[in-house]
Amino acid sequence: MPLRILILADPYCKPAYTPRLRYVCDYLIRQGHQIDVYTEAFEAHDFEHHYPIHEKPLAYNNTFQWALHAFWSLLTDYRNRAFTKWVNQQVDNKAYDLIFCTTFSTFPLRTAHALSKRLHIPMVVDIRDIEEQVPGRQYQNHRQWWARPFSLWYRNINIMRRNRALKQAHAITTISPWHVDFLKHLNPNVHLIYNGYDPEQFYAQDIPTETFDIAYIGRLYPFQNIQPVQQAIEQLHNPDIRLVCHTPQHQPIPIHQVGDVLRRTSIAVVLTSAQTHGMMTTKFYDALGCEKPVLCVPSDQGVLAQTIQQTNAGIATDNIEQIKHFISDKYNEWKQQGYTRQPVIQKHLFSRLYQTERLEQILLQTTQPTISIIIPYYNAATTLNRCLDSILMQSYPHLEIILINDGSTDQSPIIAQQYAIQDSRIRLVDVPHAGQSAARNQGLTQAKGTWISFIDSDDYLPQDLYAELVRNIPPHTDILSFGFERVNEQGQIIYQRKPHNPYRYTVPWNKLYRKDFLDQHHITFVQGMYYEDVLFNIDAWLAHPIQHTLPIIGYHYVANNHSTTATKHPEDQKKLFTQLHKRFKQHTTCNNTWLLIYTIIRLKLHFLRSL
């Protein structure tokens, strides 16, 4: 199912204009998804794109205004606040399924979090770099001289703001195994998506060259040192071997020509530092795609060195003798063939296409929420099969089925176990017999899904119910009600009900409840009495949920002589009204008073009819 994706990004900057994001956007468009990109204006970009890029105009015209803007943002997070206000105005009256936020720092994480809360849609964050991957304040060394005294303060505030947003993300993607391990202390749902190489630009081609070029392409950072390569070349005393550096300041090359340069290169240099963590630079992937020998200086003694070894991409070292031996070996290959080619292993796993396909699956899984189905059962051997068959026949796959055995003494636990063996989505929970309320509360404790659905073990569902519900859940919904029909044991319809008033029925099984709404307001079932359904829904309604109704038949309620509603419990009816009157005194607002009076009148009429 195509997604409508709101993409929030940091600015497109030279020289590469965020190639990871550009590739993701192009891929999503080809797959039929709809995307809108919102970012800040920074530099004019000339790359081709087939999707809208909306850029917030700059709030400053000169360096002095920029400095004031940056300092005020440091104090108040003004940059994110202003961007949030602007994006809110731009996306008003637009509908999205997902927010995808990509950043190398903190901007625009605050905006993504705010919009995720306002629109009630999930947020996936792609974080490409983090402050802690570089020692001390070196991550901020690119800043102007006057800003450097504030770099430690800026670093700490950035980390605090970043962590606050990442904890709220529905999923996080990042660039290396080190980053995954580091970020999991903030959010357990972290996925590894390598930067990878663009297979359309970086591919292997044997091109004979007249010179043996050892090339470095990219920016030089203070923590990087190319001198070991220079020293090794000098000590080899070979005029055919030359070091060529293409940096933004010296012999820059257009981004679209990098692949051509690499294919004519004999060795690709990758610079890192043993003090950095998880620096899986794109230069490595580009060389991997072109199957050129990689000389990584020095060894980071971490994930990059391990990946170079696992893929047989080259060598990671700062030992001059090892560097000289590696260069000499590749030089001999070049002398024989006129070119070099590295026999890399499992190259396709690092293709940007493969990584983006994995990212798409994460986005799809995030937008197709898990529904936790809570089914308490007690001596339900004659009906449990029918109930579970109707659930397992659902076309919607993202289900968590929680079967709570409320101390059954018949064969129903064995039946439940047989189904659990067949389907890994089923979880079995055994509790001492304490009634349906206690069993449902145990299910709420165990549930991990976005939505909660309650089913009684003697009832069953129509086909494709959950797929229909997920397709039609309006934004901002806390409770979604739907219709039901009462049937006899043979499946013959006694009557149907399609509610237009969400307060019409106090049962829980014709509703979906958003789990974080229930958790936020501590809504559970009152234990030790019948009619607990009524109080559960009353407590939910008193929390002022956003409710919607769907005019479909979504539940088959089987009439029998053993159900709670078919049995008269005068004492529990008194307990129910006592609880309702207690809530009446506690909630004195007009809406709450009307709701309680309406419910009390309806229940008294219902109980009178059943006499």
Q: Are residue 245 and residue 381 in the same domain, yes or no? A: no
Per DSSP, the residues of 347-398 read: GGGGBHHHHHHHHHHHHHHHHS--EEEEEEESS-TTTHHHHHHHHHT-S---
Q: Are residue 406 and residue 545 in the same domain, yes or no? A: yes
- pLDDT beyond 70 at 596: no
Cα–Cα distance measured from residue 498 to residue 503, given in angstroms and rounded to the nearest whole number: 12
- pLDDT beyond 70 at 454: yes
Which of the listed residues 192, 224, 252 is the one where a domain comes to its end? 192
pLDDT band at 147 (very low <50, low <70, confident <90, very high): low
pLDDT on residue 250 = 86
Strand partners, 481: 511, 549
Q: Are residue 311 and residue 459 in the same domain, yes or no? A: no
pLDDT on residue 541 = 86
Read off the pLDDT of residues 343-399 as tens digits, 9 standing for 90 and up: 999 999 999 999 999 999 999 888 888 899 999 999 999 999 999 999 999 999 889
Q: Are residue 78 and residue 227 in the same domain, yes or no? A: no
Which of the listed residues 158, 192, 226 is the one where a domain comes to its end? 192
Q: What percentage of the chain exceeds 90 in pLDDT?
A: 58
- pLDDT beyond 90 at 61: no
Q: Is residue 488, in this structure, part of any structural domain at all?
A: yes
- Contact, 216 vs 271, CB < 8 A? yes
Q: What is the mean pLDDT of residues 201-218?
A: 95
Q: Are residue 340 and residue 426 in the same domain, yes or no? A: no
pLDDT on residue 611 = 44
pLDDT band at 607 (very low <50, low <70, confident <90, very high): low
Q: Are residue 36 and residue 117 in the same domain, yes or no? A: yes
- How large is the greatest C-alpha to C-alpha distance in the chain, in angstroms? 106
Give residue 73's domain range. Answer: 4-192
pLDDT on residue 48 = 81
pLDDT on residue 566 = 44
Q: Is residue 358, in this structure, part of any structural domain at all?
A: no
Q: Are residue 347 and residue 373 in the same domain, yes or no? A: no
Q: Number of structural domains, the chain?
A: 3
Cα–Cα distance measured from residue 278 to residue 195, given in angstroms and rounded to the nearest whole number: 12
- pLDDT beyond 80 at 599: no
Q: Is residue 586, in this structure, part of any structural domain at all?
A: no
Q: Are residue 72 and residue 154 in the same domain, yes or no? A: yes
- pLDDT beyond 80 at 492: yes
Range in 195-199, 245-249, 381-385, 451-455 with the lowest mean pLDDT:
245-249
pLDDT on residue 565 = 46
Q: What is the mean pLDDT of residues 170-188?
A: 91
Strand partners, 483: 553
Q: Is residue 573, in this structure, part of any structural domain at all?
A: no
Q: Pick the residue with more confidence: 248 or 285? A: 285
- pLDDT beyond 60 at 59: yes
Q: Name the range with the highest mean pLDDT among 106-115, 269-278, 538-547, 578-587.
A: 106-115
- pLDDT beyond 90 at 585: no
Range in 123-127, 151-155, 336-340 with the lowest mean pLDDT:
151-155
The helix-helix angle for 151-166 and 63-76 (nearest 10°) equals 50
Read off the pLDDT of residues 155-166 as tens digits, 9 standing for 90 and up: 788 889 899 999
Q: Is residue 594, in this structure, part of any structural domain at all?
A: no
Cα–Cα distance measured from residue 229 to residue 404, given in angstroms and rounded to the nearest whole number: 65
- Contact, 528 vs 435, CB < 8 A? yes
Tokens coding 467: 């797929």
Q: What percentage of the chain exceeds 70 in pLDDT?
A: 88
- Contact, 394 vs 467, CB < 8 A? yes
pLDDT on residue 586 = 67
Tokens coding 349: 């796993």
| HSE of 505, CA atoms in CB hemisphere, 13 A | 19
pLDDT on residue 600 = 65
Q: Are residue 424 and residue 524 in the same domain, yes or no? A: yes
> Quick one: DSSP state of residue 521?
T
| Mean pLDDT, rounded, of the chain | 87
Q: Is residue 362, in this structure, part of any structural domain at all?
A: no
Q: Is residue 593, in this structure, part of any structural domain at all?
A: no
Which of the listed residues 192, 225, 250 is the one where a domain comes to its end? 192
Cα–Cα distance measured from residue 352 to residue 311, given in angstroms and rounded to the nearest whole number: 16
pLDDT band at 588 (very low <50, low <70, confident <90, very high): low
Q: What is the mean pLDDT of residues 266-272?
A: 95
Q: Are residue 143 and residue 35 in the same domain, yes or no? A: yes
CATH number, domain at 222?
Answer: 3.40.50.2000
Q: What is the mean pLDDT of residues 497-508?
A: 85
pLDDT on residue 538 = 86
Q: Is residue 361, in this structure, part of any structural domain at all?
A: no
Give which of 368, 544, 383 is closest to 466, Cα–Cα: 368
Q: What is the mean pLDDT of residues 487-500?
A: 89
pLDDT on residue 528 = 77
Helix, strand, coil percent values for the chain (each to nearest 5): 40, 20, 40
User: Hey, how many other C-beta atoms are within 10 angstroms of the C-beta on 585?
Assistant: 8
Q: Is 323 helix (H, G, I), strand (E, B) or coil?
A: helix
User: Hey, how many other C-beta atoms are within 10 angstroms of the C-beta on 514?
Assistant: 22
pLDDT band at 148 (very low <50, low <70, confident <90, very high): low
Per DSSP, the residues of 466-512 read: HHHHHHHPPTT-SEEEEEEEEE-TT--EEEEE--SSTTS---STTEE
- pLDDT beyond 80 at 594: no
Q: Are residue 338 and residue 387 in the same domain, yes or no? A: no
Q: Are residue 120 and residue 226 in the same domain, yes or no? A: no
- pLDDT beyond 60 at 124: yes
CATH number, domain at 382?
Answer: 3.90.550.10
